[in-house]
Structure 1
Amino acid sequence: MEIYLIRHTTPAVAKGICYGQTDLEVDMNIFSSELEFIREKLPETFDAVYSSPLQRCTKLAKEFSSQIEIDPRLMEMNFGEWELQNWKDIPQDELNNWMDDFVQVSPPNGENFIELQKRTVEFLQDLLSIGPTTSAIFTHAGNIRSILSHILEIPLNNAFKIQVSYGCVVKLRYSKEMNFELVSIK
């Protein structure tokens, strides 16, 4: 089984703004060039295509398939009351508390990284039980980092050491005998 994890393209949002589950449009000024970059790294067809319900993922997924399974477990981290706030405007004590332990501490009315990883890994386990040959998963940096942390046994507090840029494509290979193999990150 081959699994491609694809991060969405650049969203249309000002730099310095906290967003997670906010449903942002993509930056149409660079979408076409990012799409071509991604196309070069993917096979022409997939047995199954999955996407976060957020439009920055579904727009990209629709470029590769007309049959997409939308799964809310593939949504980015919920930043709760911080969504669409400038990081500089978030109360410093709240932000420091979260930054000291983002794995276990949640933003107000949001979720922590353990919760994100739990739902993302649950999706991955469901995918493995279905067993399509080649799957594409259009999702977010947090979800990709949580999957890689899980399969590579990297502690979640080190997940942000994994570089996942806009349009990043991660190729995984899975077999019951060998488990997961990280093939490439591009």
Structure 2
Amino acid sequence: MSAEIYLIRHTTPAVEKGTCYGQADLDVTESFFDEAARIKEYLPAHIQTVYASPLQRCSKLAQYLFPSHNILFHDELKEINCGDWELLKWDDIPQEVVMPWMNDFVNVRIPGGESYLDLLARTTTLFEKITAQQEHAAIVSHGGVLRSILSHLTDTPLIDSFNVFKLQYGCVVKLTLQENGFVHEILHNVQSTSEQHKPSISKQ
């Protein structure tokens, strides 16, 4: 059987819509068990190794889905570092501060944090180490991390990744290694709540 890697995004986080968050250690909502049970339906029994972000919205899911595995936690799988903006309301960030990043979020670093390129670099470095093991694996992580991996595998420009890979909370994406590289298949991707990861239209 060809190596398979399952990319799993965390369930709905306990945070008010319109809040900027990345590496803030948010808890999960009361819908966690329902969401996690649906995710579990799409995961095979033959997964050998589990990697996860140590942030609790991922660690709790990884431990629920894989109770008999020794989960390997890696900081490289954390969401983008939002630096000075962590847990601020998007619309409360001054326009002159947020707009340079809005205009070029791929290259411009969030003050005190990361750019999308920074996230891509650390994420894909670890991903290449994971694939070198040639095992059936699962990666429980965040939307930005999973989009980075998929962009890397498909040569999708990062600036297009949010439109190309519309990954909802609790999504499951199966990667299968073939002769010419990995192919991906979205197994589960149900929109449960709307998200806001930038200022509102009126702010812009």
Q: Same fold (TM over 0.5)?
A: yes
Instruction: Give the C-alpha shift of residue 45 in structure 1.
Output: 4.3
Q: Identity percentage over the alignment?
A: 46
Instruction: Give the C-alpha shift of residue 41 in structure 1.
Output: 1.3
Give the AA of the match of 1:44: A
Contact 1:94 1:107 in 2 (8 A): no
Question: Relative to structure 2, which stretch is displaced further, 35-44 or 1-10?
Answer: 35-44
| TM-score of the two chains, using structure 2 as the length reference | 0.87
Q: Distance in 2 between matches of 1:58 and 1:135?
A: 16
Q: Distance in 1 between matches of 2:169 and 2:71?
A: 20
**Partner residue in 1 for 2:194:** none
1:19 maps to 2:9: no
Instruction: Give the C-alpha shift of residue 178 in structure 1.
Output: 2.3
**Partner residue in 2 for 1:63:** 64
Alpha-carbon displacement from aligned partner over 1:139-185 (angstroms, at most 9, x marks no partner): 0000010011111110011111120110011111114x221111225
Question: Relative to structure 2, which stretch is displaced further, 34-43 or 138-147?
Answer: 34-43
Unpaired segments of 5 or more residues in structure 2?
Answer: 189-204
Instruction: Select which of 130, 140, 143 maps to 1:141.
Output: 143
**Partner residue in 1 for 2:12:** 10
Secondary structure of 2:65's match?
coil
**Partner residue in 2 for 1:33:** 34
Alpha-carbon displacement from aligned partner over 1:106-149 (angstroms, at most 9, x marks no partner): 111010000000011001100111211x1010000000100111
Q: Distance in 2 between matches of 1:153 and 1:11?
A: 29
Contact 1:76 1:141 in 2 (8 A): yes
Unpaired segments of 5 or more residues in structure 1?
Answer: none
Give the AA of the match of 2:28: V
Pair 1:137–1:43, CA change in 2 (3 A)? same
Give the AA of the match of 1:62: Q
Secondary structure of 1:67's match?
coil
Q: Distance in 2 between matches of 1:44 and 1:15?
A: 35
Contact 1:46 1:135 in 2 (8 A): yes
State how 1:16-165 maps to structure 2 within 5 Å.
16-27=18-29, 29-65=30-66, 66-132=69-135, 134-161=136-163, 162-165=165-168
Q: How many residues align?
A: 183
Alpha-carbon displacement from aligned partner over 1:17-66 (angstroms, at most 9, x marks no partner): 10000011111x20111011101111134100000010100000001224
Give the AA of the match of 2:157: P
Q: Distance in 2 between matches of 1:136 and 1:89?
A: 37
Q: Distance in 1 between matches of 2:180 and 2:86?
A: 40
Contact 2:42 2:187 in 1 (8 A): no
Q: Distance in 1 between matches of 2:27 and 2:162?
A: 24
Q: Distance in 1 between matches of 2:162 and 2:180?
A: 26
